[in-house]
Structure 1
Amino acid sequence: MDEFELFERIKLRDKVAFDILFRKYYATLCRFSYAMCLSEEDAEECIQDLFVRLWEKSSVVNIEVSLKAYLYTSARNYTLNAIKKRQAERNCLNEYSENREPQEQDEKISEVEIGQLIQMGVNTLPEKCREIFILCKQEGLTYEEIAEYLNISKKTIDNQMGIALRKLRDYLQPRVKRLLIILLFYITFWG
């Protein structure tokens, strides 16, 4: 099956075709993204977002040259956007830490408050996505263990974790921009 047939099947919501595409390109696109951003986590997140978006928008995506070229161009764009976002976060963090009032430096955000906020975000996730996220992040299971436990593929776990992380980021960001800056600062420097 050539690329165009594969993509036409994806447009028709063929999960097998999507899985074939994902397995064929995921690892190489992650390496491509990593070479640009030098962060495995960011690279994987970019490529997972790319595949999620491709699945969600496949009916309106028009591929004119080749599917491979489209994927690499998209991976480049997602990665460049992630790099810009990371730089903006650093700039904001630097500006925030330079402009803090002395009394603000004494303020502490409790881990309980952060945990409660994250838990509220986790509760908004779709049921299966939430279950996978909890097994991975709260129970500490590996993707392989979760896949075996739920009798689903590791790639499904990858996809669901990508969705969960994106939805959590979207949920938390507008509600706690300041908290995220402080949390990012904490993770970056004391992680």
Structure 2
Amino acid sequence: MTLYSSHTDKVLCELLKEGDEMAFGALYDRYWADIYRNAMKILRSESDAEDVVQELFESVWKRRAELLIHGSVAGYLHTSARYLAIHHIEKKIELLDNDDSLTLAFQQADLPLIESHLDAKILEIAIDKIVETMPEKMKMVFLLSRKEQLTHKQIAIKLHISEETVKKQVYNALKLIRKNMNTIPLALIIATVYAFPHQG
């Protein structure tokens, strides 16, 4: 055990503010693995999770002099990483404005991103009400995907329709939800609707 690894987070942060690279390295070694694992739960992509870890610690180093952490260092780092992961999802949606972008985003949204359980339940109830207004086929496809976590292929077999039809119905359902909840950040809708299974 090195001298730095035996320091508390508070001591390491004070040294970090003074530009101590060893203190920065000790914080990185202490937390990068947990942050990476949590980012993977959201993004389901090794490269994207690695990007989140890199962006987070680059930001910590660049802002070291004015870094203000209220509460635990671990909490600060994990919260910051979570928002970076959400931002990654939102960027992909903006860059890929088509069916695949939404599928990709929903595949990756697997962690409760809403801080308040009550807020999540209210949002879920609102989404359920929108689902009830959907055309019957759209609602059936969407619920099989959302509630039963079936893939597009599984739904197509179950309903005797094409995978392309399933994909279109799910996409249209998500567009309808988004249209009716346009004041809610898309990442929160993604997190609340469901963790989309990988297609296959």
Bigger Rg, structure 1 or 2: 2
With normalisation by structure 1, the TM-score equals 0.47
With normalisation by structure 2, the TM-score equals 0.45
